[in-house]
Amino acid sequence: MPALKEASRAKPNLASDAVTLPRLGFWGMLRWVWRQLTSMRNALFLLLLLAVAAVPGSLFPQRSVNPSTVTQYLKDHPGYGPWLDRFQFFNVFSSAWFSAIYLLLFISLAGCVVPRARAHWKAMRSAPPRTPRRLSRLTEYGTLELPERLGISAEQALQDAARLLRKRRYRIGLYDVGSDRPSVAGERGLIREVGNLLFHVSLIGVLVFVAIGGLFGYRGQKILVEGDTFVNTLISYDSFSPGPNFSPTRLDPFAITLDKFSVKFDRSSKAHYGQPIDFTAAVTVTDKPGAPPVHQTLKVNDPITIGAASFYLVGNGYAPVVTVKDGTGKTAFSGPVISIPSDGAYTSLLVIKAPDAKPSQLGFVGFFLPTALVNDKGISYASDPDPFNPRLNLNSYYGDLGLNTGQPRNVYTLDTKNLTQLNGRDKPAGGIVLALGQSYTLPQGKGTISFDGIKRYIGVDIRHDPGQVGVLISALAALAGLVCSLFVGRHRVWVRTGTHPDGRTMIEYALLARGENHRLAAEAATIRKLLQQLLSILGTGQEQPRDGMSAATGNTGTTGGTTAATRTSAKDQ
């Protein structure tokens, strides 16, 4: 019993002997977070996450592109629409969560590239690695015998081999010169890692220049009717989306006038009859005040550049010229009215507002038909996009248009809540149907409306992206770096001379690839052929069998394959 008690006393206390781990601390935690963030695995994950985060930008309307569409979406989806807006799904590319992913990806790529670039710079300035002790264990290996009758020493053969490798663009290092087994080491393909680094640096460049374009650029839209002039000022845009750091002082003082817009429709093919095949806008550009005007042509997918802004042709339609006179006989509205095409025959919706009409404000809503036909039910429809038989079909209203409340109103819609209808198909006066050159007298002495002519208009998208050239250069550099890293192989070669115990002078050569290199065997065959030519033993040098090679170098075992060769050479170095 006393012995048992002594044994129980001697039993170690596991709780007191437990290993105490050191505290990570604040700086240790920062180092750990930095290592996690700058790992290549997390960089690829962030790149994938950025692509996924951009998906809502194509699924939901964006305020930067069309604010009215977002407003209508919120009205149509009162349940979850406000929640989407709360999480910035209508401002995806400027949202906090998208910006956070973008910034983390930039930091991660920078943290990956900078240490690798520093290490590669040191590798390029350092000598090739020393010759492994057992060359026969490497991937590609061979021997040549140097006959005594040639009178070439081992040192001379090694110097000749070094010159041969230099001609093949190898970095050279001589080792153990003066000993009984001198060797030369060569390395080629460092440009592969340069291409890899260039690819990653270019990705950082793309991120930087895209951010510059988003911060300092702008995008606007403008509708130009034939004969109208656009001056590059903020008030001239129909819609304008500036970057967060945009300044109006960066707007170039240019002006552009739409002289004529023409559309060519297909008239030769029955299957595609009436489809547009060409859009051409003739414009006059003035680069700056006092500069001579220049005539240019704007076409689809063929933008023009004025100053730092690019003009893109994105839409077109008809603008009927209308004159509205009020009940006192004064002109309340006169000019072209933008109509919005709704089909391939250019059936176009239009709204006319005359807030200055007396004694009541007037409004008209209807559609424009370039070539109008009437079916058996008396309904007009457009049969061709060219204006062969243009017609205006309108309903008229009078009352308060709601333009004096100070609230913005859509010029392409007419709110009839506070209006009284004058004309319509279900009214005694009927609807208004106007051919080109005709006029119509409104009921109750409210005035007249006339269809005076037809003009065309274009919709242009105006963009200024100060980072687009940088994005292009970075993308091309990334492509060049990717091609270089994929098609350039990096490998090393060693040549060693020595005297065999039986008195023969042997030349060993071996090659080892850094990663996969399917051209390594061909390079080994080329080096052997060049060595044979250099030493003037073409046809006399005999390659030893694999067991013979081992015997010649003092090895008694056979090789263990490519994996074993790589492992052994790394150990011997």
Mean per-residue pLDDT pooled into runs of 10, the chain (573 residues): 50 56 77 81 86 89 79 87 89 87 86 84 86 88 76 77 90 85 90 88 89 88 93 90 84 92 88 87 91 92 90 93 93 93 91 91 93 84 90 92 77 87 88 92 92 94 91 94 88 85 79 84 90 62 37 32 34 36
Q: What is the pLDDT of residue 308?
A: 86
Q: Read off the pTM.
A: 0.67
pLDDT at position 405 is 73
Q: Are 303 and 462 in contact (CB under 8 A)?
A: no
Helix (H, G, I), strand (E, B) or coil at 312: strand
The whole-number pLDDT of residue 562 equals: 33
Domain ranges of the chain: 25-122, 127-189+489-572, 216-315, 317-454
Cα Rg of the chain (Å, integer):
40
The label of the residue with tokens 């991120």 reads: 207
- d(CA 525, CA 493) in angstroms, rounded, equals 12
Task: Give pLDDT, residue 150.
Answer: 62
**Dihedral of CA 340/346/351/357: which sign?**
positive
Asked whether the beta carbons of 109 and 43 are under 8 A apart, the reply is yes
Q: What is the CATH number of domain 127-189+489-572?
A: 3.30.160.110
Residue 398 CA to residue 443 CA, distance in Å, equals 11
The CA distance from 262 to 473, in Å, is: 36
Q: Which two tokens stand for residue 571?
A: 């150990």
Query: From CA 15, how far away is CA 8, in angstroms rounded?
Result: 15
pLDDT for the residue 555:
34
pLDDT of residue 18: 64
Query: In angstroms, rounded to a whole number, what is the distance separating the alpha carbons of residues 489 and 515?
Result: 8
**DSSP-derived 3-state class of residue 220:** strand
What backbone torsions phi and psi does residue 319 show, to the nearest 5 degrees? -130, 90
pLDDT of residue 551: 31
φ and ψ at residue 25, rounded to 5 degrees: 80, 170
State the CB neighbour count (10 A cutoff) for residue 472. 12
User: What is the pLDDT, as a whole number, of residue 178?
Assistant: 77
- The per-residue pLDDT for 17 is 57
429-434 long-range contacts, CB within 8 A, separation 24+: 431/366, 431/393, 431/394, 431/395, 432/364, 432/366, 432/392, 432/393, 432/394, 432/395, 432/396, 433/380, 433/391, 433/392, 433/393, 433/394, 434/391, 434/392, 434/394
pLDDT of 454: 94
